[in-house]
Amino acid sequence: MFESIERVPGDAILGLIEAFKSDKNPNKVDLGVGVYRDEQGTTPIMRAVKEAEKLLIDNEKTKAYIGSHGDPEYGADILKTVFGAESDVLAANRASATQSPGGTGALRLAAGFIKTNLPGKSIWLSDPTWPNHLGVFGAAGLNIEKYPYVDADNRLDFDGMLAALKQIPQGDVVLLHACCHNPTGFDLSQDQWQQVLAVLQERELLPLVDFAYQGFGDGMDEDAYGVRLLANTLDEMLITQSCSKNFGIYRERTGCFIAVAKDADDMADVRSQLAITARENYSNPPGHGSAIVATIFNSDELTTMWREELDEMRGRINGLRNDFVKGLAPHGLDQRFAHVAEQRGMFSFTGLTPAHVEKLRDEHSIYMVKSGRANVAGLNSANLEYVCNAIADVVK
């Protein structure tokens, strides 16, 4: 029976990983893979995570299932992190946390929940968006539509975005990036969030906010502005959250799907449906990552350590953005790439064309996604000048 199965192209990012590994150039640079890298080019284990794992080894008493909604302690911690400890949403029991296998697992829960409970509703994604959004929602059988996000000049097209949102059919779902937009790095200002909120209210649209990078933009609370604005104003919304980046526990697959309802009674109904959705997808989420996060939040010392480390990571990325633009100044390209310093998070829509990207790979062994999206965290003091010189070579 298998002889009829066709081979399909592999994931573009995974293909970049393999190509980079096989490249023999000692000066090769990986700006493609979406993980944080330190000055030495490694993805470190945070000190707070190491200390939490030591405590877990000594104190863990069971490996039993943690239930379809996951670890309650972890869920409570994430809700406070997303909404703020003093949130009225939490005080009114309007929000529910369902632990998931990473942020991608949370998106798959959202897709299943929408498909089952909101039949016939389309989901609207920014153009561009994280490519796997298309795969996850498409696999769930949802109809996918797009709204503009970046214009031809490689700038945030907020006017185009807002105009498109005003045309979306009532009741459809709109996916918004809370911060550190992947793949562009262009984020909404607080005023722009207010304008988006007004359209959501007018059109009675359901927002699904992808919150994968809290703490990587401007700070934990600053990055949550849009999420908290919508939650405090709207009756209903969905949120997908990830601990992969801000805790550096990528391989532990630790995320959360959060639903906000009008009141506690509606929330109980929604939560019952989410348990079924999770059960039918993977039954129970993994427990190690959530235990790490809960252990850190249960210790003032570890929480302080974690926040300091996260501040260091964010500061390094934002510093690299500025250094990159300065590094292009001798080539007369600093204004052309000035937007890189204004973007937030690990990713940047550089404005490089597919032809530029191909030449960077073939002639300089610099790897990035074909669209020109670069992982800024892949830069460091040893390769920054080399990358800037190479970019000047291919664009001039």
Which amino acid, residue 215?
A: G
What confidence category does residue 164 fall into, taking pLDDT thresholds of 50, 70 and 90? very high
Give 256's strand partners.
Answer: 99, 241
The two three-digit tokens of residue 131, written as one number: 């490519």
Q: What confidence tens digit (pLDDT) does each residue in 166-182 have?
A: 999 999 999 999 999 99
CA distance readout (Å), 62 to 113, 247, 255, 282, 287: 31, 23, 21, 20, 10
What confidence category does residue 8 fall into, taking pLDDT thresholds of 50, 70 and 90? confident
Q: 152 vs 241, which has greater pLDDT?
A: 241
Q: Does the pLDDT value for residue 16 go beyond 90?
A: no
The Cα 318–Cα 352 span in angstroms is: 20
| Mean pLDDT, rounded, for 49-61 | 95
Q: Does the pLDDT value for residue 142 go beyond 90?
A: yes
Helix, strand, coil percentages for the chain (3-state, nearest 5): 50, 15, 35
**The predicted structure's pLDDT at residue 263:** 97
8 Å CB contact between 321 and 276: no
From its phi and psi, is residue 255 left (phi > 0), alpha (psi between -120 and 50) or beta?
beta
Give 30's strand partners.
Answer: 367
What confidence category does residue 212 fall into, taking pLDDT thresholds of 50, 70 and 90? very high
Choose the catalytic residue: 30, 77, 157, 210: 210
What is the helix (H) or strand (E) element at residue 124, kind and residue range?
A: strand 123-127
Q: What confidence tens digit (pLDDT) does each residue in 317-369 have?
A: 999 999 999 999 999 999 999 999 999 999 999 999 999 999 999 999 999 99
The Cα 53–Cα 33 span in angstroms is: 26
Q: 8 vs 180, which has greater pLDDT?
A: 180
Which domains are present in the chain?
8-45+311-395 (3.90.1150.10), 65-298 (3.40.640.10)
Which percentage of the chain shows pLDDT scores above 90? 94
**The predicted structure's pLDDT at residue 246:** 97
Exposure of 277 by Cβ count < 10 A (0-12 exposed, 13-18 middle, 19+ buried)?
buried
Name residues whose C-beta falls within 8 Å of residue 302's C-beta, 6 or more positions apart in sequence. Answer: 48, 51, 52, 295, 296
8 Å CB contact between 375 and 346: yes
The Cα 364–Cα 57 span in angstroms is: 45
Choose the catalytic residue: 30, 193, 245, 323: 245
Is 370 marked active-site?
Answer: no
Is 300 marked active-site?
Answer: no
Angle formed at CA 349 by CA 250 and CA 180, multiple of 5 degrees: 45
Choose the catalytic residue: 28, 71, 130, 193: 130
Which percentage of the chain shows pLDDT scores above 70? 100
The two three-digit tokens of residue 266, written as one number: 């509606």
Q: Does the pLDDT value for residue 305 go beyond 80?
A: yes
The Cα 324–Cα 366 span in angstroms is: 15
What confidence category does residue 7 fall into, taking pLDDT thresholds of 50, 70 and 90? confident
72 preceded by cis ω (within 30°)?
Answer: no
**Mean pLDDT in the chain?**
96
**The predicted structure's pLDDT at residue 376:** 97
Q: What confidence tens digit (pLDDT) does each residue in 258-303 have?
A: 999 999 999 999 999 999 999 999 999 999 999 999 999 999 999 9
The two three-digit tokens of residue 139, written as one number: 């696999």
**The predicted structure's pLDDT at residue 17:** 82
8 Å CB contact between 71 and 99: yes
Where helices occur in 118-179 by DSSP H, the ranges are 131-139, 158-165
What confidence category does residue 235 fall into, taking pLDDT thresholds of 50, 70 and 90? very high
The Cα 46–Cα 53 span in angstroms is: 11
**The predicted structure's pLDDT at residue 296:** 98
**The predicted structure's pLDDT at residue 15:** 80
Number of helical H runs and strand E runs in the chain: 16, 11
Q: Does the pLDDT value for residue 9 go beyond 80?
A: no
Is 210 marked active-site?
Answer: yes
